[in-house]
Amino acid sequence: MSTPHNSAKNGDIAKTVLMPGDPLRAKYIAENFLDDARLVNEVRGMYAYTGSYKGEAVSVMASGMGMPSIGIYSYELFSFYEVENIIRIGTAGGISENIHLRDVILAIASCTASSYADQYGLPCRPAAAASYDLLKKADEAAEKAGIDVHVGTILCSDTFYNDTGSLADWRKMNVLAVEMESAALYYNAARTGKNALCICTVSDCPLTGEECSADERQSTFNDMINIALETAIQC
């Protein structure tokens, strides 16, 4: 089946999908980490590839930026393509004093002020939490590979340019970093009974002004990709 946003056919997409925001990062992963990767979607430039990693089928598909975008693509993957697991692999801005450039974060949960969950009609905003099974597998994969990771809570924001200056307040709540997609992914996984995990690499630290280049963001954050792939083949 195809959708307005995805031209892949039944069977084109694996049960586990790695989901970067940047379509060029999806292409980079397919070309450098997957065997026999083939392009299965390019609608709106949101590249999706399916190949194999260590003999196991894995797909990688871009999500675009922000909760509305990943909300569409992850919902369609979960609901129409029989995908069971989505592992977001993206960048984040470090908030905690203990977080530095290129650090890898496994997000237990995602705080958000977004109205995304209002669609469920609940009396309060539900917790946006990772699948424990995926989180455990990713933590074990990182340890086996000798990659240090931070495991904790992140902030999912609707805005990249924010005038409130509130990031320092989130630091007080022991929030590790900020990004823009995790909460919608976690909500979609919960609503559809599927599994999701957000793995992020710190690309900048807004409170200190440190940042990586655009090229570095696109193609050099390999630790999180390796963790995600090792997690994927355990699913």
DSSP of 96-164: STT--TT-EEEEEEEEE--SGGGGG--SSPPPEE--HHHHHHHHHHHHHHT--EEEEEEEE-S-SS-SS
Catalytic residue among 12, 22, 103, 204: 204
Spatial distance between the Cα atoms of 46 and 197, rounded to a whole number of angstroms? 20
Spatial distance between the Cα atoms of 65 and 129, rounded to a whole number of angstroms? 20
Strand partners, 90: 200
- How buried is 169 (Cβ within 10 angstroms: 0-12 exposed, 13-18 middle, 19+ buried)? exposed
Alpha-carbon torsion (109, 117, 88, 167), positive or negative: negative
Q: Examine the residue annotation and report whether 204 is marked as an active-site residue of this protein.
A: yes
| Phi, psi dihedral angles at 133 (to 5 degrees) | -60, -45
Report the catalytic residues: 204
